Protein backbone atom coordinates (compact mmCIF):
# COMPACT_ATOMS: atom_id res chain seq x y z
CA UNK A 1 0.00 0.00 0.00
CA UNK A 2 0.92 3.62 -0.52
CA UNK A 3 -0.26 6.61 1.51
CA UNK A 4 -0.94 10.30 0.93
CA UNK A 5 -0.31 13.22 3.26
CA UNK A 6 -4.11 13.61 3.35
CA UNK A 7 -4.43 10.20 5.06
CA UNK A 8 -5.65 8.21 2.08
CA UNK A 9 -4.39 4.72 1.29
CA UNK A 10 -3.88 3.39 -2.21
CA UNK A 11 -3.71 -0.29 -3.07
CA UNK A 12 -2.65 -0.96 -6.66
CA UNK A 13 -3.49 -4.07 -8.65
CA UNK A 14 -2.09 -3.46 -12.11
CA UNK A 15 -3.68 -0.28 -13.43
CA UNK A 16 -6.57 -0.36 -10.93
CA UNK A 17 -6.01 1.48 -7.65
CA UNK A 18 -8.37 1.05 -4.70
CA UNK A 19 -8.59 4.16 -2.49
CA UNK A 20 -9.76 4.62 1.09
CA UNK A 21 -8.83 6.52 4.22
CA UNK A 22 -6.50 5.36 6.95
CA UNK A 23 -7.46 4.28 10.43
CA UNK A 24 -5.85 7.48 11.71
CA UNK A 25 -8.15 9.59 9.50
CA UNK A 26 -11.24 7.60 10.48
CA UNK A 27 -10.42 8.11 14.16
CA UNK A 28 -9.92 11.85 13.64
CA UNK A 29 -13.29 12.12 11.89
CA UNK A 30 -15.26 10.39 14.62
CA UNK A 31 -18.47 8.52 13.84
CA UNK A 32 -19.15 8.73 10.10
CA UNK A 33 -22.84 9.25 9.31
CA UNK A 34 -22.86 10.00 5.56
CA UNK A 35 -20.71 9.26 2.51
CA UNK A 36 -21.23 10.67 -0.99
CA UNK A 37 -19.30 8.84 -3.69
CA UNK A 38 -18.42 9.83 -7.27
CA UNK A 39 -20.17 8.42 -10.33
CA UNK A 40 -18.61 5.45 -12.11
CA UNK A 41 -16.91 6.45 -15.39
CA UNK A 42 -16.06 9.90 -14.02
CA UNK A 43 -12.70 11.18 -15.22
CA UNK A 44 -10.82 12.79 -12.33
CA UNK A 45 -7.64 14.78 -12.02
CA UNK A 46 -5.32 14.69 -9.05
CA UNK A 47 -6.66 17.11 -6.46
CA UNK A 48 -10.32 17.01 -7.57
CA UNK A 49 -12.74 16.74 -4.64
CA UNK A 50 -14.61 13.52 -5.33
CA UNK A 51 -15.92 12.08 -2.04
CA UNK A 52 -17.79 13.85 0.76
CA UNK A 53 -17.69 12.35 4.24
CA UNK A 54 -19.81 13.69 7.09
CA UNK A 55 -19.25 12.69 10.67
CA UNK A 56 -20.67 13.80 13.98
CA UNK A 57 -17.61 16.09 14.28
CA UNK A 58 -17.18 17.56 10.79
CA UNK A 59 -17.54 17.26 7.04
CA UNK A 60 -14.50 16.34 5.01
CA UNK A 61 -13.65 15.90 1.35
CA UNK A 62 -11.53 13.20 -0.20
CA UNK A 63 -9.55 14.37 -3.19
CA UNK A 64 -8.42 12.26 -6.09
CA UNK A 65 -4.86 11.23 -5.26
CA UNK A 66 -4.08 10.54 -8.91
CA UNK A 67 -5.45 11.11 -12.43
CA UNK A 68 -7.73 8.45 -13.83
CA UNK A 69 -11.24 7.11 -14.35
CA UNK A 70 -13.51 5.91 -11.56
CA UNK A 71 -14.32 2.30 -12.46
CA UNK A 72 -16.08 1.14 -9.29
CA UNK A 73 -17.53 2.61 -6.10
CA UNK A 74 -18.26 0.95 -2.78
CA UNK A 75 -22.07 1.10 -2.61
CA UNK A 76 -21.95 -0.51 0.86
CA UNK A 77 -20.71 2.81 2.28
CA UNK A 78 -23.81 4.64 1.10
CA UNK A 79 -26.04 2.23 3.03
CA UNK A 80 -23.67 1.81 5.98
CA UNK A 81 -21.27 4.77 6.39
CA UNK A 82 -20.20 3.41 9.81
CA UNK A 83 -18.04 0.92 7.89
CA UNK A 84 -15.52 3.75 7.61
CA UNK A 85 -15.00 3.54 11.37
CA UNK A 86 -15.30 -0.24 11.61
CA UNK A 87 -12.87 -1.27 8.84
CA UNK A 88 -11.23 1.77 7.21
CA UNK A 89 -8.44 -0.14 5.49
CA UNK A 90 -10.55 -3.07 4.38
CA UNK A 91 -14.30 -3.16 3.71
CA UNK A 92 -14.58 0.64 3.73
CA UNK A 93 -12.69 1.42 0.52
CA UNK A 94 -14.30 4.34 -1.35
CA UNK A 95 -13.59 3.84 -5.04
CA UNK A 96 -11.41 2.13 -7.60
CA UNK A 97 -9.67 4.22 -10.19
CA UNK A 98 -8.05 3.14 -13.44
CA UNK A 99 -4.76 4.93 -13.92
CA UNK A 100 -2.63 5.34 -17.02
CA UNK A 101 0.76 5.76 -15.38
CA UNK A 102 1.65 3.31 -12.60
CA UNK A 103 4.90 5.21 -12.04
CA UNK A 104 2.78 8.03 -10.56
CA UNK A 105 2.34 5.83 -7.48
CA UNK A 106 6.04 6.22 -6.69
CA UNK A 107 5.43 9.71 -5.28
CA UNK A 108 3.36 8.39 -2.37
CA UNK A 109 4.57 7.33 1.07
CA UNK A 110 5.31 3.80 2.17
CA UNK A 111 3.70 2.49 5.35
CA UNK A 112 6.81 3.32 7.37
CA UNK A 113 6.92 6.84 5.92
CA UNK A 114 3.24 7.31 6.73
CA UNK A 115 3.74 6.14 10.34
CA UNK A 116 6.51 8.74 10.67
CA UNK A 117 4.17 11.34 9.13
CA UNK A 118 1.50 10.77 11.81
CA UNK A 119 4.01 10.34 14.62
CA UNK A 120 3.59 6.63 15.33
Interval 68-111: pLDDT, tens: 999 999 999 999 999 999 999 999 999 999 998 889 999 999 99
Sign (positive/negative) of CA torsion 37, 2, 102, 92? negative
The closest alpha carbon to 44, from 107, 84, 106, 104, belongs to 104
Q: Beta partners for 3?
A: 9, 109
The answer on pLDDT for 58 being more than 90 is no
Q: What domains lie within the chain, and their CATH numbers?
A: 2-99 (2.40.50.100)
pTM of the model: 0.94
Amino acid sequence: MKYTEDHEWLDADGDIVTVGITEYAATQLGDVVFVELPEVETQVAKGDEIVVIESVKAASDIVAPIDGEIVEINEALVDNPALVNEDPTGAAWFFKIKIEDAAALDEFMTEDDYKDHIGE
